[in-house]
Structure 1
Amino acid sequence: MERNTALRDFLRSRRAQVSPAQAGLIDGSGRRVPGLRREEVAALAGVSVDYYMRLEQGRNVSPSDSVLDSLATALRLSPAQRAQLYLLVRGRSKHEADRVPDNHPNITGLLRAVAVPAIVVGRGSEVIGANALHRELTTDFETFPLERRYYAYWLFADAGAREVMVTWEHSARETVGVLRAAVTRFPEDRRLHRLVENLNAASPEFRALWDEHDVATPASSVKVYRHPLIGSLALRQVAAQLPDDVWLYLYWADPGTDAEAALQRLRDVVADALSRPPAPPR
């Protein structure tokens, strides 16, 4: 509880120190208090307003490193402040928290820049980040506990995945193959072994595929999704490798196809959701 209070006070004080102009925002309305509003910090960091509010309130949130880094950038934190943020959230500092990460591009900025569903995953399908279009199409991985924030876990242990993924069988086989390849390459990674143990216990389908000992690498393919408002979307998946065993997946549609029209409707749904005022805190 003490750490939650300290985190709340730290985040509130930091956003009070950043002006809209410093953040590149247009301040078109009067403000009763200085600094950024919660919804502005959330937008700059690439997370939902509700998620940021829960983080600021210390309510059962386990942000990924990329979210903390994006939040630190949005709040213009110094290296020491960045380390403090990690300490308050994790109970320990990040190894590279004393410097701005430079191993790969700004993941949040990259995801926000593309106009198609996009997700970035690390070793063993760990979800590093996803843009609003991908969240609308699948699920919000940021709401998952850290130990379950894997694409593989959603695919096999979340019943909703089968409702969303029309091509579930193909995705399941591909994901298991990529995971087995990762376990082979990094046998010392205990997180991967725990993930495999949990999935073996949770899913007979995973267990059967795992026992096949097949391996795969991220590849281009066609994935078919089902959306409650839009219907079926057949999208081309393109996988691009980034540094540090990180992969960027993009999902796009051929011009002039029904899929392109459906993808535009998905953009409209997301734009409409983002334009609504945030719900008041409970």
Structure 2
Amino acid sequence: MTVGERRIELAGFLRARREQLTPGDVGLPVGPRRRTPGLRRQEVAQLAAVSVEWYTRLEQGRVGVPGVTVLDSLAGALRLTDAQRRHLHLIARGEAPARRHEPAPVRPSLRAVLDGMPLLPAYVVDFRFDVLAHNAAAAALFGAEFGTGPTANTARALFLDEPMRATQLDWRRIAREMVGNLRANLARHPGDARLREVIDELGRASADFAGWWRDQTVSERTHGRKRIQHPEAGLLTVCYDVLGSPDGSDQHLFTITPEGAADELKLRGLITRYSRFRLAAM
């Protein structure tokens, strides 16, 4: 297939998929009666974070070869299946996309370490900051839903989850560390689609992230201290340590320890109450 033929095929595919969707399918208000079926071009552009003018030219076959990240944004906006996403990349670029992210399993021995620390919150993340596993103490500190939904990725939770952000009294410092960590991880995994997806989303959704990303800060957290304003326990000052995996999986174990005796009492109280709640719910 020539470049010209691919442009025609791409334009037809995008237009057809856009017309197959309704505003309700993508979480947009239905609004007044529509003259055209499906979504409007400006709605697709808005969902994909591209300009309406650029998207219009793309549907008309008047744009060069789109980048991988833009294609993945369009795939998300148009709610494409994995097969449709692959087809989109093939007709747009002539090559298959990178495989979608599949979290690496946590080794049983590392899982045993987590469960063997009942009084210390701990969790495992990969280099994308997706939460792969956590212990009950982490759920007691961060909430029963920790590791799922808005907190399934700690970078997203830090910048985009308002309840989580509100508890972090040292948010600005911790958030800047996170940006530097993501930049360092991107250098090690430049082709990882999931990591790029997280970074791109944060860049679009957070002005703070976008500004700090531009300053080229690079950092790798190994330990630190932070204050948490917990809704139940009040002010907690804790230390965190980050332990890397030497096996090449680039997974990291985060452990939280109380700084002082008063913090330890508050943390133990939280964990005890959470454990009783879990037992009562069984």
Which TM class, normalised by the smaller chain length? 0.5 to 0.7
Write the deviation string for residues 167-193 of structure 1: whole angstroms up to 9, x where unpaired: 211210111111110111111111111
Q: Secondary structure at the match of 2:281?
A: coil
Q: Secondary structure at the match of 1:271?
A: helix
The counterpart of 1:258, out of the listed 262, 270, 273, is 262
Equivalent position of 1:125 in the other structure: 129
The question of whether the paired residues in 2 share the 8 Å contact of 1:121 and 1:128 is answered with yes
The question of whether the paired residues in 2 share the 8 Å contact of 1:121 and 1:127 is answered with yes
Equivalent position of 1:25 in the other structure: none
Q: Secondary structure at the match of 1:276?
A: helix
Are 1:226 and 2:229 matched, yes or no?
A: yes
Are 1:160 and 2:163 matched, yes or no?
A: yes
CA distance in 2, matches of 1:187, 1:270: 40
TM-score normalised over the length of structure 2: 0.58
Write the deviation string for residues 190-242 of structure 1: whole angstroms up to 9, x where unpaired: 11111111111111111111111111112211121122221011011111112
Matches within 5 A, 1:58-207: 104-114=107-117, 115-139=119-143, 140-144=145-149, 149-207=152-210
CA distance in 1, matches of 2:127, 2:155: 11
Q: Secondary structure at the match of 1:216?
A: coil
The verdict on how the C-alpha distance between 1:215 and 1:95 changes in structure 2, with shifts beyond 3 A counting, is: closer
CA distance in 1, matches of 2:139, 2:184: 26
CA distance in 1, matches of 2:199, 2:222: 22
Q: CA deviation at 1:275?
A: 2.1
How large is the Cα RMSD of the aligned pairs?
A: 2.5
One-letter amino acid matched to 1:246: Q
Q: Secondary structure at the match of 2:159?
A: helix
Matches within 5 A, 1:14-53: none
CA distance in 1, matches of 2:128, 2:140: 23
Unmatched tracts of structure 1, length 5 or more: 1-91
Q: CA deviation at 1:104?
A: 4.1
One-letter amino acid matched to 1:121: V
One-letter amino acid matched to 2:134: A
Write the deviation string for residues 67-106 of structure 1: whole angstroms up to 9, x where unpaired: xxxxxxxxxxxxxxxxxxxxxxxxx9x899xxxx7x8443
Equivalent position of 2:253 in the other structure: 248
One-letter amino acid matched to 1:266: L
The question of whether the paired residues in 1 share the 8 Å contact of 2:128 and 2:194 is answered with no
Equivalent position of 1:211 in the other structure: 214
CA distance in 2, matches of 1:202, 1:186: 23
CA distance in 2, matches of 1:141, 1:106: 22
Q: CA deviation at 1:152?
A: 0.5
What is the number of residues matched between the two proteins? 178
CA distance in 1, matches of 2:115, 2:103: 26
Equivalent position of 1:235 in the other structure: 238
Aligned-residue sequence identity (percent) comes to 28
The question of whether the paired residues in 1 share the 8 Å contact of 2:140 and 2:271 is answered with no
Structure 1 segments, 4+ long, off by >4 Å, are none
Q: CA deviation at 1:117?
A: 0.7
The question of whether the paired residues in 1 share the 8 Å contact of 2:158 and 2:165 is answered with yes
TM-score normalised over the length of structure 1: 0.58
Equivalent position of 1:271 in the other structure: 275
The question of whether the paired residues in 1 share the 8 Å contact of 2:179 and 2:212 is answered with yes
The verdict on how the C-alpha distance between 1:174 and 1:199 changes in structure 2, with shifts beyond 3 A counting, is: same
Unmatched tracts of structure 2, length 5 or more: 1-99
Q: CA deviation at 1:116?
A: 0.4
